[in-house]
């Protein structure tokens, strides 16, 4: 069992200066019983070490971006080289063209790209661009999908798909939330109803095409095709939020994931938002789409979007290096084979100790839901045992395995995880399920 004295001290100090002691609420341990979060000090490969010197096998991967493992030599060298040449110019650079070209080659629906600084910014701007292109106001989104923290997407469902949204956070005017309609994921009836009622003022239907924010949830066969078809029939654009999914399951995004989707043409969006992996661990976001839609953006068009830090040379260099690693043959197959063995072992251990567990795995990412029913939408993801997850999380932490501190977040494999890491994780899981089981 580990000592985390220094983390506890740092938490007390952090709370004096930083609101809640953390710079993003998902880093706090509020959803897993509270107390001091672990303060990390160093990371390399599949591991990080905390301020007390404890080592953890990392399945958080910084909520997704760290797909090549921490401090990957190729990515690190690119960042150091970029930093030596100056970290910010406020001008155009050649690196931006290289990364834009790589993104376009991997995701051909993006004729034009624009770099921003985060997934939040990317999504926020796709909405503005869609509104500019359609001259409409409203957005339809799906319950439980997270699209960053801008006003329009921090909106929950009203009392049903036939009502307008209510703000999900203090500080968001009801007038803004009323421009958003939230409908259930993985069924088309709610979307149909919403479009019948408000279709002529809907600028875009926004979706995480494979969900990463209430666990990993695949769209049911025909769902994405239906979303695209219904949106277009209503004259609305389709926006894919691929901030988590792009380059996570294969070298490309959901819309190019032919192994999972037989008819890619039927699921092509008008606009795509990107982030996380494409910055190789440095801050980045990007959005792109059809030429005539993207040409709404300034300086070509009337939709304004700008950024002092946008296209930061170090972020761009890290992104290029990260994609170069992911382009190597066999990278995704290896993550998939490790994840398959890991999820198989987790399921066996859970069953041995009578712990109900549903696992949703897609290639090298998966989610563990403490329940005995399938999880295909937000209602089902909510209807799971958060307390049991919290106990499992703590048991795993004590045994040196770091999971995201929320029952909704995924486990991410990286190119740095090894068979030995999977063995060690399964050993920790066996003891953890035993400790929490009946
Ligand atoms: N979209 C999705 C699907 C996300 O998962 C996230 C973050 O987790 C965002 C957007 C926001 O990205 P960022 O945290 O970089 O602002």
Give the tokens for residue 328: 């190597």
Helix (H, G, I), strand (E, B) or coil at 140: strand
Pocket test for ligand 1, best of 23, 65, 148 (most atoms within 8 A of CB): 148
Q: Is ligand 1 within 6 A of the CB of residue 248? A: no
The torsion angles phi and psi of 138, rounded to 5 degrees, stand at -85, 160
Write the pLDDT tens digit of every residue in 4-36.
999 999 999 999 999 999 999 999 999 999 999
- Tokens 């192994």 correspond to what residue? 259
Model confidence, pTM: 0.97
Q: Is the pLDDT reported for residue 161 higher than 60?
A: no
pLDDT band for 217, please (50, 70, 90 cuts). very high
- Please tell me the number of Cα atoms within 13 Å of 257 on its side-chain side: 21
- Residue identifier of the C-alpha nearest atom 7 of ligand 1: 148
Q: Are 284 and 316 in contact (CB under 8 A)?
A: yes
Q: Is ligand 1 within 6 A of the CB of residue 365? A: no
Pocket test for ligand 1, best of 60, 61, 63, 119 (most atoms within 8 A of CB): 119
Q: Is ligand 1 within 6 A of the CB of residue 366? A: no
Ligand 1 center from residue 231 Cα (angstroms):
23
Q: Is the pLDDT reported for residue 165 higher than 80?
A: no
Write the pLDDT tens digit of every residue in 246-296.
999 999 999 999 999 999 999 999 999 999 999 999 999 999 999 999 999
Bridge partners, 274 (sequence order): 286
- What is the longest distance spanned by two Cα atoms in the chain? 63
Q: Is ligand 1 within 6 A of the CB of residue 154? A: no
Range of weakest confidence among 135-139, 164-168, 412-416: 164-168
Can you give the pLDDT at residue 158?
67
Q: Is ligand 1 within 6 A of the CB of residue 219? A: no
Ligand 1 center from residue 423 Cα (angstroms):
31
Q: CA nearest 114: which of 327, 303, 326?
A: 303
- Residue identifier of the C-alpha nearest atom 1 of ligand 1: 147
Could you tell me the residue ranges of all domains in the chain?
5-71+329-436, 73-326
**Residues taking part in catalysis:** 146, 241, 276
Can you give the pLDDT at residue 16?
98
Pocket test for ligand 1, best of 62, 115, 120 (most atoms within 8 A of CB): 120
Cβ count within 10 A of residue 356: 14
- Residue identifier of the C-alpha nearest atom 9 of ligand 1: 148
Write the pLDDT tens digit of every residue in 84-98.
999 999 999 999 999
In whole numbers, what is the pLDDT of the chain averaged over residues?
A: 96
Can you give the pLDDT at residue 159?
59
Architecture of domain 73-326: 3-Layer(aba) Sandwich (3.40)
Ligand 1 center from residue 64 Cα (angstroms):
10
Can you give the pLDDT at residue 340?
98
Ligand 1 center from residue 25 Cα (angstroms):
13
Can you give the pLDDT at residue 160?
58
Atom of ligand 1 nearest to the CA of 275: 15
Can you give the pLDDT at residue 75?
98
Can you give the pLDDT at residue 163?
66
Can you give the pLDDT at residue 352?
97
Q: Is ligand 1 within 6 A of the CB of residue 147? A: yes
Q: Is ligand 1 within 6 A of the CB of residue 63? A: yes
Q: Is ligand 1 within 6 A of the CB of residue 244? A: yes
What is this model's ipTM? 0.99
Where are the extended beta strands (E) located within 293-438? 358-362, 365-369, 401-402, 411-412
- 3-state helix/strand/coil string of 58-127: ECCHHHCCCCCCECCHHHHHHHHHHHHCCCCCCCCCHHHHHHHHHHHHHCCCCCEEEEECCHHHHHHHHH
Fold for 5-71+329-436, please state it: 3.90.1150
Pocket test for ligand 1, best of 65, 143, 147 (most atoms within 8 A of CB): 147
Q: CA nearest 243: which of 230, 253, 229, 235?
A: 253
């Amino acid at each position: 069992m580990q000592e985390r004295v220094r983390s506890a001290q740092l938490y007390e100090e952090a709370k004096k200066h930083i609101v809640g002691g953390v710079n993003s609420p998902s880093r706090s341990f509020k959803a897993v019983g509270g107390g001091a979060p672990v303060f990390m000090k160093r990371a390399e490969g599949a591991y990080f070490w905390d301020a007390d010197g404890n080592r953890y096998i990392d399945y958080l991967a910084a909520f997704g971006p760290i797909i090549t493992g921490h401090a990957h030599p190729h990515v690190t060298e690119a960042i150091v080289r970029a930093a030596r040449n100056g970290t910010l110019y406020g001008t155009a650079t050649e690196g931006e063209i290289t990364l834009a070209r790589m993104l376009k080659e991997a995701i051909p629906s993006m004729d034009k790209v624009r770099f921003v600084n985060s997934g939040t910014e990317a999504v926020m701007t796709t909405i503005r661009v869609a509104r500019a292109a359609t001259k409409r106001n409203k957005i339809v989104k799906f319950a439980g999908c997270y699209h960053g923290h801008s006003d329009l997407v921090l909106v929950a469902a009203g009392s049903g798909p036939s009502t307008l949204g209510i703000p999900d956070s203090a500080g968001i005017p009801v007038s803004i939330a009323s421009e958003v309609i939230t409908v259930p994921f993985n069924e088309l009836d709610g979307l149909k109803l919403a479009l019948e009622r408000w279709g002529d003022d809907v600028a875009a239907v926004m979706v995480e095409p494979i969900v990463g924010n209430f666990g990993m949830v695949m769209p049911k066969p025909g769902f994405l095709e239906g979303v695209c078809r219904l949106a277009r029939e209503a004259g609305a654009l389709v926006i894919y939020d691929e901030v988590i999914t792009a380059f996570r399951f294969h070298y490309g995004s959901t819309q190019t994931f032919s192994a999972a989707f037989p008819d890619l043409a039927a699921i092509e969006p008008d606009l795509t938002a990107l982030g996380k992996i494409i910055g190789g661990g440095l801050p980045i976001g990007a959005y792109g789409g059809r030429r005539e839609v993207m040409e709404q953006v300034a300086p070509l068009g009337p939709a304004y979007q700008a950024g002092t830090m946008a296209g930061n040379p170090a972020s761009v260099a890290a992104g290029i290096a990260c994609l170069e690693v992911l382009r190597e043959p066999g990278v995704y197959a290896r993550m998939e084979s490790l994840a398959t063995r890991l999820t198989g072992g987790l399921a066996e251990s859970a069953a041995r100790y009578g712990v109900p567990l549903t696992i949703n795995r897609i290639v090298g990412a998966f989610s563990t839901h403490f329940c005995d029913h399938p999880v295909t939408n937000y209602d089902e993801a909510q209807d799971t045992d958060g307390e049991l997850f919290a106990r499992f999380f703590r048991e795993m932490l004590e045994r040196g395995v770091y999971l995201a501190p929320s029952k909704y977040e995924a486990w991410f494999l990286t190119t740095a995880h090894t068979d030995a890491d999977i063995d060690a994780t399964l050993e920790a899981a066996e003891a953890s399920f035993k400790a929490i089981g009946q």
